[in-house]
Amino acid sequence: MADRQIILDTETTGLPVSEGHRLVEIGAVELIDRKLTGKHYHVYLNPERPVDPEALAIHGLDDNFLAEQPKFAHIVSEFIDFVRDSELIIHNAEFDVGFINSELGRLAGQGALSDYVASVTDSLALARQKYPGQRNSLDALCRRLAIDNSERVLHGALLDSQILADVYLALTGGQKTLSFDEHPPGAHPALEAGIIRLPVARAALRVIHPDSDEQQAHADWLLKLGKEGVPKGWPERF
Are 140 and 238 contacting, i.e. CB atoms less than 8 angstroms apart? Answer: no
Are 89 and 127 contacting, i.e. CB atoms less than 8 angstroms apart? Answer: no
As a whole number of angstroms, the distance between CA 203 and CA 29 comes to 18
Q: Active-site residue 218, yes or no?
A: no
As a whole number of angstroms, the distance between CA 31 and CA 40 comes to 10
In degrees, rounded to 5, the angle at the alpha carbon of residue 85 between the alpha carbons of residues 126 and 77 is 115
- DSSP assignment of 65-104: HHTTSPPHHHHHHHHHHHHTTPEEEETTHHHHHHHHHHHH
Query: Parallel, antiparallel, or unpaired for β 35-44 and 23-32?
Result: antiparallel
Torsion of CA 185, 188, 192, 194, to 10 degrees: -170
The edge-to-edge listing of strands for the beta sheet with 87-90 is: 35-44, 23-32, 4-12, 87-90, 119-122
Catalytic site residue from 21, 59, 91, 155: 155
128 Cβ neighbours under 8 A, 6+ residues apart: 136
Active-site residue set:
155
